[in-house]
Structure 1
Amino acid sequence: MEATTCNGSVDGSPVFYLVGIPSLPESLFLLVFFIFLLFYLLILMGNTLILVAVVAEPSLHKPMYFFLTNLSALDILFTTTTVPKMLSLFLLGDHFLSFPACFLQMYLFQTFTCSEAFILVVMAYDRYVAICRPLHYPVHMTPQTNAALAAGAWLAAFLLPIPPAVQTSQMAYNNINHIYHCFCDHLVLVKASCSDPTPQTLMGFCIAMVVSFLPLLLVLLSYARILASVLRINSREGRSKAFSTCSSHLLVVGTYYSSIAIAYVAYRAELPPDFHIMGNVAYAILTPILNPLIYTLRNKDVKAAITKIACLRSSSGIGALGL
């Protein structure tokens, strides 16, 4: 797609220069690289471990863990969209992104952000049916229904970011555009353009409201119904068991929306650009690194499955050595 540059010429190949963190001295680039690399490896290892555990352990072949595999796969894709380029920037000084690559990164970042919000809603619905309508759970949460819910969440997430991505790509840009960020995000691309940013900023805000607050409202409504149902349980042990099945999901929801709040406040507040950038970077890394920790530390079924797999691997390793 051709893009009209700010000087009025027509050029099909504007490029974007990722500034990174403006006030960060180059002497600290290597340290930041290793920190981000460590986080990225932890995200890959933690979420892959959950995927393997759920697939390999028959006792985890339940709707709740099916949606958990979607969340783990999503976290891997979400961070892979941004972190490798950030690593290249801090290690190799690779600041440039082509026009198509920058907009693809922006589109995928928005897509996986939407996917996470929608998958969390689906997981909240699963917990609502399990606790509030337990006798109907096998009927409502069939494999076909689970697949349809997950597919609907992914499809909606892939469709919603298309309008802002297309319209932002048609704005006017210079041949070289400085992006004060570590990756291509919608608002920084709008700011880098020479066109009037108001329509795109408004569209981005409206989509953010739909993607963030509508799913949050649905999650809160689900848990309001769950809380009312749990409080009607006479047995203290029954109430405790019901709450324990929701605790991991509630922590993940809390982490996700806390990271969004940090990014939003960092952007809206009158703070230096570095705070805006780090707020978004924290949002891109915080949830994917905490999700596997929450589900492995607080969910006894997942923890038991991972322990079992680890023991089997250790036993096979000892057997291979002939011990």
Structure 2
Amino acid sequence: MIQPHTRRSILEFHMIFRVHNPGFTNFTQLIQLSSYRQMEWKNMTSISEFFLLGFSEQLEQQKVLFGLFLFMYLITVMGNLLIILAIITDAQLHTPMYFFLANLSLADACFVSTTVPKMLANIWIQSSAISYSGCLLQLFFFMLFVMLEAFLLAVMAYDRYMAICHPLHYIMIMSPGLCVFLVSASWIMNALHSLLHTLLMNSLSFCANHEIPHFFCDINPLLSLSCTDPFLNELVIFIIGGLAGLVCVLCLIISYAYIFSTVLKIPSAQGKRKAFSTCSSHLSVVSLFFGTSFCVYFSPPSTRSAQKGTVASVMYTVVTPMLNPFIYSLRNRDIKYSLKKLILVRKSHSP
């Protein structure tokens, strides 16, 4: 804020200068207005924290939400870590499909750990505050893992396409080097993509209202609090984010178009069921993830509200990562067998 004595000095100087130099009145007004604006922008950019409004401010509802989200978080982390452990310990699962599944499980565990622990901590200490740097850090990791999940699902669709449509060349094409390259490229590209959005968000100035109607720092609620024009941010989201999402969706559509075309040509019904069974788990996860995320980010503005957006976000940020281990373990015989073997070995070694 401009101190009273500073504002008085500026006005006195302005009046004296106006009397002696009436021709420069407009010029001095522009200088004064510019100085005011610069000081106002400086005040707006010095933000120390935001406030995450979450779901409810009522204490009883917060207790229920704390127990519910803590349960879902523990189930998600334990389920995905079990999938990773089963794939690492079982040599029969050292194939491209399960290598990608292990990375997807890792992304799911990190994805849910980006948002839920902070929400649980805020409910526990009865505070909705998150620091400015903490909010940007949460935004970075959230965008990293949400896009990484989309990329990994697209890579897994390509893997299923090669396994079903080109089975004789599958081992040669899906070599360990290519698998590592696809996963590494997904991590690196999405890290750079998230860093770009975070740096652009850091360049914005924010108004006096620091309340985010969400349970984590998502990009759209943050842009709505900006006092500066977020045109560049929205342009980057539209071009780079839209292009990345389009590539993933096209990869999924094209891969499954070829898969369905190939499976329908199989003469026996048993052969068709066996081919479809290898894709059913992946299709279920794709439907959950992309269906819920599209509802959040591509719903019409007339039907969009903060409360509905928050509830819909829970579906793809918490529920989908929690269901993924169950979908893959219940519909995949190899995973079920490996998990049973892992549990039996631990029981045999326990005192």
Change (3 A) 1:89 1:205: farther
Instruction: Determine the C-alpha separation between the residues in 2 that align with 1:6 and 1:264.
Output: 35
Instruction: Determine the C-alpha separation between the residues in 1 that align with 2:303 and 2:257.
Output: 36
Deviation >6 Å, runs of 4+: none
Which of 158, 162, 167 aligns to 1:125? It is 158
Q: Is the 8 A contact 1:7 1:174 kept in 2?
A: no
Shift of 1:5: 9.3
Shift of 1:291: 0.6
Residue in 1 aligned with 2:128?
95
Instruction: Determine the C-alpha separation between the residues in 1 that align with 2:87 and 2:47.
Output: 45
Residue in 1 aligned with 2:52?
18
Residue in 1 aligned with 2:27?
none
Is 1:68 the equivalent of 2:101?
yes
Shift of 1:198: 4.1
Residue in 2 aligned with 1:9?
42
Instruction: Determine the C-alpha separation between the residues in 2 that align with 1:89 and 1:164.
Output: 25
Counterparts of 1:259-274 in structure 2, within 5 Å, are 259-264=292-297, 268-274=301-307
Residue in 2 aligned with 1:297?
330
Is 1:228 the equivalent of 2:251?
no
Residue in 1 aligned with 2:225?
192
Percent same amino acid at aligned positions?
Answer: 37
**SS of structure 2 residue aligned to 1:160:** helix
Instruction: Determine the C-alpha separation between the residues in 1 that align with 2:150 and 2:201.
Output: 23
Shift of 1:201: 3.2
**SS of structure 2 residue aligned to 1:41:** helix
Unaligned runs of 5+ in 2: 1-36
Shift of 1:238: 1.7
Aligned amino acid, residue 20 of structure 1: G
Change (3 A) 1:222 1:25: same
Shift of 1:265: 5.7
Is 1:279 the equivalent of 2:312?
yes
Instruction: Determine the C-alpha separation between the residues in 2 that align with 1:267 and 1:161.
Output: 25
Residue in 2 aligned with 1:38?
71
Aligned amino acid, residue 309 of structure 1: L
- Residues 98-157 of structure 1 show CA distances to partners (whole Å, capped at 9, x for unaligned) of 221111111111111110011011101111111111111111111111101111111111
Which of 154, 158, 173 aligns to 1:140? It is 173
Is 1:158 the equivalent of 2:191?
yes
- Residues 22-75 of structure 1 show CA distances to partners (whole Å, capped at 9, x for unaligned) of x55232111101101001001011001101100111111111000000000000
Instruction: Determine the C-alpha separation between the residues in 2 that align with 1:18 and 1:161.
Output: 21
Unaligned runs of 5+ in 1: none
Q: May I ask how many residue pairs the two structures share in their alignment?
A: 314
Shift of 1:312: 1.6
Q: Which has the higher helix share?
A: 2
Residue in 1 aligned with 2:22?
none
Which structure would you say has the larger Rg?
2
Counterparts of 1:160-175 in structure 2, within 5 Å, are 160-174=193-207
Instruction: Determine the C-alpha separation between the residues in 2 that align with 1:52 and 1:268.
Output: 43
Instruction: Determine the C-alpha separation between the residues in 2 that align with 1:176 and 1:264.
Output: 23
Shift of 1:196: 2.1
Indicate the larger mover: 12-21 or 184-193: 12-21
Change (3 A) 1:269 1:53: farther
Which of 210, 220, 225 aligns to 1:177? It is 210
Instruction: Determine the C-alpha separation between the residues in 1 that align with 2:82 and 2:253.
Output: 29
Aligned amino acid, residue 293 of structure 2: I
**SS of structure 2 residue aligned to 1:181:** coil
